[in-house]
Amino acid sequence: MALAALVEDALTSQAAELRATGAVVEVADDLPTLHGEAGQLAHVVTNLVSNALKYADGTPRIEIDAERADDILTRATRQPTSDARH
């Protein structure tokens, strides 16, 4: 399953909240392909975006990137903050 497609779907489903909060979203160009059950993967990605919006201090800035190492996803998304919460 292409992570880029999952991210696009998550952002589309939360478009109203993204607009309302003025969120700035950056998505990496080279997101990997994931192996797993599509519905569960979609749920995880949607929750990551939702939590980034929910717990933002001020205007949300969401960076979506992912890395794979030895067939394991090692980093999925983060919101840079001054107190280093990720």
Here the CATH number for the domain that contains residue 33 is 3.30.565.10
* pLDDT score for 46: 93
73 found inside a domain: yes
Q: Which two tokens stand for residue 76?
A: 């999925």
85 found inside a domain: no
Residue-wise pLDDT for 36-56, tens only, equals 899 999 999 999 999 989 998
Look at the chain and report how many structural domains it folds into: 1
Q: To 10 degrees, what angle do helices 3-13 and 38-54 make? A: 50
> Which of 13-17, 48-52, 79-83 has the least mean pLDDT?
79-83
Q: What is the DSSP string of 7-60?
A: HHHHHHHTHHHHHHHT-EEEE-S-PPB--S-HHHHHHHHHHHHHHHHHT-SSS-
**Structural domain boundaries, residue 31:** 3-78
Q: Report, as an integer, the average pLDDT of 17-34.
A: 93
58 found inside a domain: yes
Which amino acid makes up residue 25? V
Name the DSSP letter for residue 2.
Answer: B
84 found inside a domain: no
